[in-house]
Chains A and B, each alone.
Chain A
């Protein structure tokens, strides 16, 4: 009997060998505490992104300072980034070690990847609805927005698989920053709304050079008439405007279709004429625009403070700066009567922790980012729009909007025009479906344009065979056959691979044999 017990104990002790090697224990789902324990000290980390704009950094610091005055038992440690991609990479790295930040500026596509880990993210529905600590809750020490005071469209962009996993923080769209002076110099008149046809026609005309290689329109050796900053946005919006496929809400990839190919042919044609390039291959639209080397620069409305001869932020030397009239317009459309444009901008998510009180502290800070003072101050730094109706409709914000053009700093006309562009088109904005793999799909959409741009410039043959190979290469490079829809953080993983089935069957078989052997020995001994 003693021997049997010893064997049994050894077997029990061996169990962890088969289980513990599968990584660190995942966190339990977040459960809302009854109340916030103010007798304890909390230290939370906030990973934030700024647009290489020190005013934004100052606003983050001031926000933390003000929040800590209200909640002296919460210390917020700020870590700053200037690139969403680096935040994403660092979060991914830290998920495995459970050292994620508490609160993090993010893009919805990134959240879909974070959610593939069990209970990594905190679903916000319970927190939002809580009567005391929820949106507009009675126990809050600040005047935060109620749920219905957040712009519904922006809030909806943070819902995945039936739950909210983020709150919107700022919103922007893309705008076309136009050198009107050069458009008119070329003999064209800017229409009320830009069309793709117009932009290509003017850009082709602007590519004309004299015998010495000097561009006729600007008298310089450099001219890229049309530069697009984000080629993933370019492809996504073109497809949307043409009601062509990109992906389904379930994560089915529709990017590779006839319309996409038609668009790539069109882009190739204008690259060939020297009419178009991209940020990745050539540089910032703002720098070329301000140097008189670009006529149409498409960039975020959150980049408006860099655009134009009088821009408050300029990255080129004074001697290269050219005087011209800048106009902010909607991105070009295929159907100008029914414009569509992307909705983008940072959201804020909360990472789960072992201590629910720490999560609650993170939630309080997250909500504080939506108070009027923070929303209005941050939105004013760029062509951003506050995400709450409460802030948008406030007297302070309305006064700000009414003072467009008063100076070239806070009231810089181009920035205000960019802001107004989004404010008047919120209903025309859209976002792409979010699923595990949607970030890769977005990259792939941009890569199609980037590759065509490079290949044409490099004199490579761009024909049907090229397009076919491009599609295959991109599909494989971005692993688009491995994506899946987000479904409340759980995914249908499909049938187990054969090797896994065989392995599990072997383990089960061995355990059966062990137990049979032990039983046999026990019966044998009992019979003695």
Chain B
């Protein structure tokens, strides 16, 4: 009887582990590409991916732009056909299956003309620390569109796109004497957000840790989603 109970308990535990945590976030449904397959796919080819929403950038006229990620890589899903109601459902962590075409705009690899369906399960990515890769663009680009972090960066300049709050903020941060371009993208984190205010208040010389999505525009141009002054 004891043996039976032990087996039953073990089975219950295993079942509970697999059901409450959701399925393996790296697992793909049939007909869906792995991140490696997506990465290898030619530009302009059709792609089908499954990933978890990590950031919502914008919604306008039934088109949504979001960052999504699976444990292997990040995706920028540009102007996905999406109703206002469905956009509300796309909370951070939501699993989506996206069909579209792989494209590159000014170096930013994205899924263009996408459609999507919401899947079962949730997963939220932890930021990947890529500070050490900043000077190595060939390695850094492998993390394109992922939620990433940069530690111990020195603020060099903070400039509003229009000279005043309201639009994007261009941020220059340096590490080991080399300058890098960052941005607070107003569509992703608008003027009412904490990060917009916090970045606007940064002064040259401050040392910060930042998190954001590794966007690309003629080179790395991370879009900051949070900032912490550390020195």
Contacts and interface: CB of A to CB of B under 8 A. Distances in A.
Contact of B106 (A54, A89, A284, A317): A284
A89 B112 CA distance: 23
B166 A458 contact: no
Contacts of B219: 317
Interface residues of B, number: 19
B166 A283 contact: no
Contacts of B101: 454, 458
Contact of B163 (A54, A89, A317): A54
Contacts of A283: 105-106
B165 to A, nearest CB: 10
Interface in A248-297: 281-284, 287
A57 B164 CA distance: 10
Contacts of B161: 52, 82
Contacts of A57: 162-163
Given A287-B106, A459-B44, A316 B218 contact: yes
A65 B29 CA distance: 62
A80 interface: yes
A462 to B, nearest CB: 14
Contact of A79 (B113, B166, B218): B166
B43 to A, nearest CB: 8
A427 interface: no
Contact of A457 (B44, B162, B218): B44
A322 to B, nearest CB: 14
B46 interface: yes
B45 A287 contact: no
A80 B166 contact: yes
A58 to B, nearest CB: 8
Given A282-B105, A284-B106, A458-B45, A80 B164 contact: yes
B103 interface: yes
A320 B137 CA distance: 14
Q: How large is the interface on A (under 10, 10 to 19, 20 to 34, 35 or more residues)?
A: 20 to 34
A284 B164 CA distance: 25
Nearest to B46: A458
Contacts of B209: none
Interface string A217-261: 000000000000000000000000000000000000000000000
A523 B105 CA distance: 81
Interface string A287-326: 1000000000000000000000000000111001000000
Given A281-B103, A284-B106, A287-B218, A458 B44 contact: yes
A89 B106 CA distance: 26
Interface in B119-168: 161-164, 166-167
A73 interface: no
Nearest to B218: A316
A315 B218 contact: yes
Interface string A52-65: 10100110010000
B162 A317 contact: no
A228 to B, nearest CB: 15
Interface string A74-106: 000001111000000100000000000000000
Contacts of B167: 80-82
A214 interface: no
B44 A317 contact: no
A209 to B, nearest CB: 15
Interface string B164-178: 101100000000000
B57 to A, nearest CB: 15
Contacts of B113: 454
A50 interface: yes
A459 B60 CA distance: 29
Interface in B51-70: 60
A459 B44 CA distance: 8
13 contacts: A58-B163, A80-B164, A80-B167, A81-B167, A89-B60, A281-B112, A282-B105, A283-B105, A283-B106, A287-B218, A320-B218, A454-B44, A458-B44
Interface of A: 50, 52, 54, 57-58, 61, 79-82, 89, 281-284, 287, 315-317, 320, 454, 457-459
Given A58-B163, A80-B166, A317-B219, 12 more contacts: A50-B162, A52-B161, A80-B163, A80-B167, A82-B161, A82-B162, A281-B103, A282-B104, A282-B105, A454-B44, A454-B101, A459-B44
Which 9 residue pairs of A and B lie closest in terms of their CB atoms, listed nearest first? A283-B106, A80-B162, A457-B44, A57-B163, A458-B44, A316-B218, A283-B105, A458-B101, A57-B162
